[in-house]
A and B are shown apart, each in its own frame.
Chain A
Amino acid sequence: MGNKQTIFTDEQLDAYQDCTFFTRKEILRLHGRYHELAPHLVPMDYTNDPDVKVPLALIVNMPELKENPFRNRIVESFSEDGQGNLSFNDFVDMFSVLSEMAPRELKAIYAFKIYDFNVDNYICKEDLEKTLNRLTKEELTPEEVVLVCEKAIEEADLDGDNKLSFADFENMISRAPDFLSTFHIRI
């Protein structure tokens, strides 16, 4: 096929196509965006798999993530070290999960990770309160926050332990009609 690009080898592009929901063109475009974030750090030639990580501060300033109240959590959930420094693999993975074609189950897993602020495999009341405060920028009164969190846990908690495990969360998400259309970033 037409254009010869020297950023990736063909095997690498094939592997990316198999492991993500993107086509070749989109992967090359993603690499362009990744390079733009830190032109001096990110090499144009990825054929020998360089170990380069872009720090959190640069990634959350991307236009797609800038206005998102959960941008820090999103980037942290996809990073290997948990601090938000993404390699290109993580970067592509992040946008692949958040793309239109990712299935609901996969998105639910990562959504659970994003909303679990204290990383204890449960969404407890504190996680919920943090989520709500980020969403509304603390414009609800504290009583209203408590009320909303209580009602949310009441609606979704199945096993009665007053926090949401992944089973509860997944069951709730499967019945949330907007989840697929809102949990998606276009790049």
Chain B
Amino acid sequence: MDAPDAVFVPDRRAPSSHLLLEQLPSYQSLLYRRKTSSSSRRRGSGRGRQPSINSGKWAEQKPVHSGEELKPVRELPKSMQEKQHEKQQRLQQGGALTGWGLWRLNVHRSLKRLKEDGMDVLSSLQLWRADIHLIEGMFGTGILSYFSFLRFLVLLNFIMFLLMFVFVMLPVIITSHSTHNITYSSSNGSECSVYLGSSRQGLVVFHEHITDLLSGTGFLEHTYLFYGYYKLEFIHSHFTYNLPLAYLLATITYLLLSLLWIVKRSAAGFKRKLIQDEDRFQSFCNKVFAGWDFCITNENAARLKRSSLLYELKMDLEEERIKRKMANRTRGEKCRIYALRAALNLFVMAVLVACFYCIYVATVFSQRKQAEDQKSNFLLELVVEYLPSIVITLANFITPLIFNLIISFEDYSPAFEIRFTLMRCVFMRLASIGVLLFSLWVQITSCAATDCPCGYNHQLYPCWETHVGQEMYKLVIFDFLIIAAVTIFVEFPRKIIVNYCDCGLAKWWGQQEFGIPQNVLEIVYGQTICWIGTFYCPLLPAINTVKYILVFYLKKVSLVTNCRPSTRPFRASSSHFFFLVVLLIGLALACVPVVVSIAEIRSSRACGPFVSYSTSWEVVPRVVSQLPTGLRSFLHALASEAFAVSFFVITCLGMFYVIALAGAHKRVIEQLRDQLVMEGRDKRFLIQKLCQAQQVVYARSPERRPLRGFRGHRNDAGLYLVELETQA
């Protein structure tokens, strides 16, 4: 340290610098409880606790801070007596309240109490509160976020079901039980409107019922479950209820509602993530000061938390080491690694394309076999029906293993490895649904001849929406069966084997870890299918709700009995945001097929509410053309190009403004941080100078007795003298 900086070195010989620091206003807020409580009893000018008495008296002399806002009493860092004292002081300072003021205060207070009691009741009604509390205590906040995410999805599905029920199913149910004037969808009797359905005639064998239940055919096909049943168009009572319009608007509403709800939930996490993404991100401080989960009450969970923190710290140290190694890479090494990464990425893409091709082939094969309708073995029939689902599940099981193997060769830092593998798995899962739908679409819109007279293949698929609905229904059922089967037939035996068998296999396999990312991907996959399938199968949200409730209890039991928490801990804050981002990706992906099929594909002429329209979307222009002129021209203006362009321009302007604002805020934060650093150095510099000056004064007059109980007196130099300890 060179000469000008020597002044920053704390001088051990000056005992008073510490006392000076205690008097600074910034330390007033940090007073220790015991010292202030003793000072509030107004002790005399004793020694020993000098700084405290000093500061205590100073606190009393100061009025309420003029510059700061008054914080609520409960947010003050003082002991209970002081808070009550402060409350009394504020009441007195507020002046004597007249009858009117007093009454208002009382009303305000009782309203606040009422609100708190209301919130109390509401939170006790929260679904699964006790279960989640138990899980939090045993496994910490990482796994808790998975279960609260599951609870959120249950509620979302239930609301979607209510929406479809009230607007689509309820009118149909009412009309079937009462006598209203109904207009059915007009069919022009062409060959496109022939629809027999696959209901079984004659004597039905029992196992055929099982097949029907599992694949939505047979007795399930002509029920409220599928799109094809809603053949009404208008219901006339006091007003005319337009069922096709209601159906379409309910679909759009549930998509928008999901979007808004998810964005609202992710707003808090997004704000925190923005703060986190600064250059000087502090990973070590986080782990040391905010790493231990104070909610843990279980001894096992505490032990595991400790080992996971240890693991995290070691990983961080390892990352530092790797970062240093990466910075020292030579040019040759870099070229080699980039070439390797390019080759491996090509390999990954090849694997993905191969999987998608398999799904396509399986779908085409399954459709063709179903169309042939040969009577064969019961199990073979089921396998053929479920072939696309089986292939998708197999692909989603194998590809993560391949990705995990490949990423170790690509030589990234550990944290990036985890994130990149996860992104690949997300893409694989969600894109496989897209491929399935695409292959279905190809099948539906391709006919034997070159051109389809009805716009779709009416011979094979007289009611193609019901067929798509059946495929979605099969996917949901199969997904649930797989989750249940894996839990019951793999996890429980694994626990038994690991506990009671001492062979090498058991040791290598180890106890089950609750892998949060994989489980989250599973339920996001199920939710994406639900979003796509609700248009074709209005009861699907109800099925999904029941499925997720069962999954909750299954996972909870399996977690508590079989699992130990993962050694790769998943931080609560970033994980919640991650779940919602993946869910948003699923929603975006789900919107594409729904929008394409509503707007592009010819709705089937034999079933459903959209028989007399060319596409499902056409109901909206038709209704708009029947509205009064003013409203019609307003809606036309909204849909015109002029409005769209100006809306787009205004949105862009808004976005640029917000981006500029964010940049300005970042600069201000940097400046403030530099100022903080400067202030700290200034403070220490001034204190050193002050102590030096005091020592000079003291040295100049050694015969004077040390000043005691001497506060706030000005001397010639204009410095405040501080009480000095008596020199013995």
Closest 7 CB pairs of A and B: A159-B680, A89-B80, A67-B302, A177-B573, A155-B282, A179-B290, A19-B83
- Bound-state CA distance A84–B109 (Å) is 34
A33-49 vs B, Cβ < 8 Å mask (1 yes, 0 no): 00000000000000000
- Bound-state CA distance A49–B304 (Å) is 42
Interface of B is mostly: helix
Contact present for A67 and B299 (CB under 8 Å): yes
Judged by a CB distance under 8 angstroms, whether A21 is at the interface is yes
Judged by a CB distance under 8 angstroms, whether B714 is at the interface is no
| Set of chain B residues within 8 Å of A82, measured between Cβ atoms | 32-34
Closest chain B residue, CB of each to CB of A20: B74
Question: Can you give 27 contacting A-B residue pairs, CB < 8 Å?
Answer: A15-B84, A19-B73, A67-B296, A67-B301, A68-B292, A79-B33, A80-B34, A89-B79, A109-B29, A110-B77, A111-B289, A113-B30, A113-B32, A121-B22, A135-B291, A140-B314, A148-B284, A155-B285, A161-B8, A161-B684, A174-B275, A175-B276, A175-B281, A177-B272, A181-B141, A183-B290, A185-B295
Contact present for A64 and B297 (CB under 8 Å): yes
Interface residues of A in 152-171 (CB under 8 A from B): 152, 155-156, 158-161, 165-167, 169, 171
Q: How large is the interface on B (under 10, 10 to 19, 20 to 34, 35 or more residues)?
A: 35 or more
Closest chain A residue, CB of each to CB of B271: A177
Instruction: Kindly identify which residue among A64, A121, A148 contacts B27, using a CB–CB cutoff of 8 Å.
Output: A121
Judged by a CB distance under 8 angstroms, whether B309 is at the interface is yes
B660-703 vs A, Cβ < 8 Å mask (1 yes, 0 no): 00000000000001001101110110000000000000000000
| Set of chain B residues within 8 Å of A64, measured between Cβ atoms | 297
| Set of chain B residues within 8 Å of A93, measured between Cβ atoms | 79-80
Instruction: Kindly identify which residue among B10, B29, B75, B295 contacts A186, using a CB–CB cutoff of 8 Å.
Output: B295
- Bound-state CA distance A174–B372 (Å) is 66
Judged by a CB distance under 8 angstroms, whether B558 is at the interface is no
| Set of chain B residues within 8 Å of A186, measured between Cβ atoms | 133, 136-137, 295
Judged by a CB distance under 8 angstroms, whether B66 is at the interface is no
Judged by a CB distance under 8 angstroms, whether B117 is at the interface is yes
| Set of chain A residues within 8 Å of B236, measured between Cβ atoms | none
| Set of chain B residues within 8 Å of A15, measured between Cβ atoms | 84, 87
Judged by a CB distance under 8 angstroms, whether A4 is at the interface is no
Interface residues of B in 229-272 (CB under 8 A from A): 272
Contact present for A160 and B680 (CB under 8 Å): yes
Instruction: Kindly identify which residue among A121, A144, A175 contacts B278, using a CB–CB cutoff of 8 Å.
Output: A175
Contact present for A182 and B292 (CB under 8 Å): yes
Interface of A is mostly: helix
- Bound-state CA distance A112–B32 (Å) is 11
**Residues of B in contact with A (beta carbons under 8 Å apart):** 8, 10, 21-22, 26-27, 29-30, 32-34, 37, 73-77, 79-81, 83-84, 87, 109, 113, 116-117, 120, 133, 136-137, 141, 272-273, 275-276, 278, 280-286, 288-299, 301-302, 306, 309-310, 313-314, 317, 320, 571-574, 673, 676-677, 679-681, 683-684
**Residues of A in contact with B (beta carbons under 8 Å apart):** 14-15, 17-21, 23-25, 63-64, 66-70, 77-82, 89-90, 92-93, 96, 98, 102-103, 105-106, 109-113, 115, 119, 121, 128, 131-132, 135-137, 139-140, 144, 147-148, 151-152, 155-156, 158-161, 165-167, 169, 171-179, 181-186
Q: How far in angstroms is the closest Cβ of chain A from B17?
A: 12
- Which of A70, A93, A176 is packed against the most chain B CB atoms within 10 Å? A176
- Which of A70, A119, A177 is packed against the most chain B CB atoms within 10 Å? A177
Given A159-B681, A161-B684, A177-B273: 12 more A-B contacts, CB < 8 Å: A20-B74, A67-B296, A68-B294, A112-B30, A121-B22, A128-B288, A147-B317, A161-B8, A167-B676, A177-B573, A182-B572, A184-B295
Contact present for B77 and A103 (CB under 8 Å): no
- Bound-state CA distance A6–B137 (Å) is 33
Q: How far in angstroms is the closest Cβ of chain A from B693?
A: 21
Closest chain A residue, CB of each to CB of B87: A18
